[in-house]
Amino acid sequence: MSGVSIGWGKVILLGEHAVVYGYPALAAALDRGVTMQAVPTPAGGPLRLDVPVWDLAVTAGALDDHHPIGRALGAIADHLGLGRPALSLVGESQIPVGAGLGSSAAMAVAVTRALLVWAKRKEDPAVIAEAAGASEGIVHGRASGVDVALALAGGIGVFRKASGLRKLALSTPLRILVAATTEPRNTADMIQRVTDATNGKKEDPRLAELGSLTDTGTTALLGGDLAGLGAAMNRAHAVLAGLGVSTPKLDILCDAARTAGAHGAKLTGAGGGGAIIAIAPREAEGAILAAWKERGVVGFQTTIR
């Protein structure tokens, strides 16, 4: 049995969707994610992936396989040139699946790392990013790479499709409140919804505004101005809602956080359900978590360093 490999979950503070079109996104890894272990199957058999907490059990498939995760697993193994070794990749997750917290990228990075450990190959970040990116392309279609970059590197930074992740060093750790709804959603559908709303044009003013909100919010964060960061997040949520990727429930939860004292709240990730985040003065955190709980959603606090 080989060691345990990890891919981090993530939150996007600003810039989701616009990042697909080349604008910057401010994103941070969570302090939790997906862990994976490669267990050889001495009697032989297919390359398998089991994540019991997600009720996921697939075998590596070819590109025409019906199960997207089976195809994604096959794509990772192909990318690494490993064929189909007789292995079970056994995963655990501390993040919900399909909630906008980067579970599929975390899984792809953890799978890639576990396969490299099993093959006794060195960790090469570029190789991991490409293999996990191939998986994300199958699961999400037009992915920017932001989820994979954070799942791999951890920390916080500004991601651009053209130049990758530029990590930021925070002088004070950033506390974020996160809550995942159970509304069913699909990232590829949400990316398509934004394409329909903007005719796929980068010049669309709403995408441009999301990009400039990333710049404003990042400057505010680095200057310790959490109210400024929160204001950028509130505006970003409104723009994302205008693009059609919020839901009444996400709007209600964001409003509840603001009423309970948050500097800012917004959906995070692709939207259409999934998770929300809030930045708040420390003394308001309890009231925000209670307001979410009253509305049937259990949140948690995470600290970004």
* Residue ranges in contact with ligand MEV by CB under 6 A: 12, 16-17, 19-20, 143-144, 146-147, 187, 191, 269-270
Environment class of 192 (CB within 10 Å of its CB; exposed 0-12, middle 13-18, buried 19+): middle
Q: How big is the chain, counted in residues?
A: 305
Environment class of 303 (CB within 10 Å of its CB; exposed 0-12, middle 13-18, buried 19+): exposed
- Give catalytic residue positions: 147
What stretch of H or E contains 301? strand 299-304
Instruction: Tell me whether residue 60 or residue 191 sits nearer to ligand MEV (CB atom).
Output: 191
- CA 25, 240, 176, 181 torsion-angle sign: negative
Give residue 53's identity as a one-letter amino acid code: V
Q: What is the DSSP letter of 234?
A: H
CA distance 114 to 135: 15
Beta strand 164-167 pairing with 156-160: antiparallel
CB of 89 to ligand MEV, least distance (A): 23
CA distance 85 to 147: 27
CB of 238 to ligand MEV, least distance (A): 17
* DSSP strands (E only) in 181-298: 264-268, 275-279
CB of 12 to ligand MEV, least distance (A): 6
